[in-house]
Structure 1
Amino acid sequence: MHKVTDRDIQTAKCIAFEFDAAVRANDGDAANKASRTFRALITETNGENGSFGSFADDGAGTAITAALAAKAGQVPHWGQNGLFVLETKHGRALVDFTCPLDTCSSFGFTAIDLGMPFISMTGYRSHFYAEWPPLSVMEAAAAVFCEYAEAGEMVNIKIEYPQGRNNSLPDFAKPSCTAFQGIPTQTDDKGQIGFQF
């Protein structure tokens, strides 16, 4: 069982800011140092289990990263998780960014304007990112998204995937495109399909 205190969370925030500054300054040594310090803090605060299970539901790592997360809709910095809207010349996406202060972050791109071409026919694409470029998280997300788009991978989203997607988007990421966004359907207990209005 973890024993994370407010002081631990403040320490973790300081480490995360150091990590972000190191990444933005292209200082790999400082970024690695911050990463090691963060892991040591998690191991220490995870109680008698040490690093084992530290990112389980009740682990110290889970509690600390949740406390560090950016507010919904705000762009996180390196060392934070966050959910934000990315706008590029190729379209918009809801980005779910995970940055555990180690060598591999991840971007999850979800289509917002479902009637527009996207970098995946399902309306979702994940990307694991093993670089620490001297860029902001927004700039890195845009570079990844545009790389997919400019590689000729923009496609229409297949109609079976968008159903219910619009209703699951957070308020800060509502569609702005008036093009066709899909018609939600429902199936009754006899298998009959009908439109929802």
Structure 2
Amino acid sequence: MIFADFKERFHLVAFSNTDWLWVVGAVIFTIIADQLLEPVGKYFARLRFFSPPSYLPAPFNPLKKFAIPPSEFFGVTLKENWRLLAVFIPIHIIAMFSEELMWRGYILPLQVDTYGVYAWIINGLLWAWVVHACLKWHLIGMIPGMLIAPWIAQHTGSTWASFAVHAIGNAPLWIILLVGVLKSTIDEEPNHVEKTA
């Protein structure tokens, strides 16, 4: 009973197959918008007030070149570092789910009561400019991604839908890290045949 009430309160309800089309469309829209707005982020990053901290690595710092496959992630070497993936991916999933639970499951329904059909806009802008204010150089570039998650949650009535958009949109980072671990491992393997006496 308590779990059922929790699911209902936080809108953890299944969404339809048709809604999956909206989820996929939202992810594609976000990827395209991010690419189109990347120059805006670089412009702001060059301004003193908006510049990212110097210690922040690529791809999070738009002024630093990001190599694929990467050899390290936040100063941690990727070579044969399967533990990094085993720790980072679950923590990343929990962080995204927690954000969705709070912002789409709890706050958005309250905002719907006040702002009606425009609640997703208020929710997305607050999520972008309050929670992600530390990414100030990405102030404009993050708007499409930050608006699409609350829109899909309000449109479908499901926090799972916005979580799917959030997680699928961030999953390429896991793939890039995986490629970094695999490439570093493959590069170290000897490519010669040992001679036998």
Bin for the TM-score computed over the shorter chain: under 0.3
Which structure's residues are more often helix, by fraction? 2
- TM-score, scaled relative to structure 2: 0.25
Bigger relative CO (Cα 8 Å, ≥ 6 apart): 2
- TM-score, scaled relative to structure 1: 0.25
Which structure's residues are more often strand, by fraction? 1
